[in-house]
Amino acid sequence: MHILFLFQNLLLINYQILMRLSYVQFVFVSIQPINIAAGEIKTIDFSGNVTVATGNYHVSILYDSLNIRSNGTTNAVLRSLPIKVLPTPTGTTNLVLTHMISFDNQPKVDKNNAVLTAHIKNMDGYFDNRMVANIYPKNGGSIIATLGNQNVTIEKEQEVTVKFSGKINLNPSTYSVDVCYYTTSNSWKEIAPSDSATIIFSLVDNLSALSQPIQPTNIELYPNPAQDKISLKSDKAIINVTIFDISGRQVLFIKPEKSTEIAVPIIELNAGTYILRIETEDEIKTGKFIRR
């Protein structure tokens, strides 16, 4: 269970904050020390396993009114709200990427401060397990480093943004990276679609020290909405074009002769919204278009 609360502290400096489930049956779901300075506003994410039967309950946020962290027994109710505990979904977890994974400032990535972003949707089941970004040689092979190994919880049909961050202890060079999750069969699995889960990037020692950063590629997409085809116009040569439906399934891949202006036929696609991935000589860009 995950609950977000926004707190403003007017008097106290320290809180021992607890999340309690039910008025009658005391089940402490999460206990954590929180520092909130006077006048500060802070958002806190409470999470933990709920070990009660399904049904209607109240969840309460409590704090130590005496502001003594070592005590933690004098609890005052800060906020309560009704909730309904549902049974754990029994379907098989089906995680998909709704956008191409991407590094901040890609294609060049600072080895001392790497941040990879993945937009992930759970199409079925319930996921509460580990995720990690695995780094490989440019042309594939064995894992040579990892980034942002963490526990992630995603409800059925929920979409979340996951950040994988930290240092990459490799020499500056060109590598590939993908995003994987740990399954109930005790194995790692790459998140689908694979074309969105793997990218090539250049690792550098100090991104801020680069004197000649690559200028962003300008790409025009028209018309939008479209019926028979869409046109792409770029100031850099377009290498690959991939189209995904809204669930993340690849429906079209085109590898044109290198050109700054191409037409992409979409007459075979059903009406709806699609995700477009465009790879140029310098970077990868994504966008959306509507097929009428």
Give me the domains of the chain, ranges plus CATH numbers: 2-85 (2.60.40.10), 95-209 (2.60.40.10), 219-291 (2.60.40.3080)
Pick the residue with more confidence: 286 or 179? 179
Q: What angle do CA 14, 19, 23 make, to 5 degrees?
A: 125
pLDDT of 252 > 80? The answer is yes
Share of the chain above pLDDT 90, in %: 33
77 confidence band (pLDDT: 50, 70, 90): low
What is the DSSP code (8-state) at residue 226?
B
Tally of CB atoms within 10 A around 277: 19
Name the least confident of 1-10, 124-133, 277-286: 1-10
Residue pLDDT, tens place only, 88-108: 767 788 899 998 899 987 668
Q: Pick from 197, 56, 37: which is nearest to 120 by CA?
A: 197
137 confidence band (pLDDT: 50, 70, 90): very high
211 confidence band (pLDDT: 50, 70, 90): very low
**What token pair was written down for 218?**
């300008």
Q: What angle do CA 46, 28, 6 make, to 5 degrees?
A: 30
CB 286 within 8 A of CB 275: yes
CB 66 within 8 A of CB 11: no
How far apart are alpha carbons 108 and 87 in whole angstroms?
45
- Tell me the mean pLDDT in the region 9-33: 50
70 confidence band (pLDDT: 50, 70, 90): low
283 confidence band (pLDDT: 50, 70, 90): confident
What residues have CB less than 8 Å from 289, skipping those under 6 apart? 221, 224, 225, 226, 230, 273, 274, 276
- Tell me the mean pLDDT in the region 54-70: 71
Name the least confident of 2-6, 66-70, 79-83, 106-110: 2-6
Please give the mean pLDDT across all residues of the chain. 79
pLDDT of 9 > 70? The answer is no
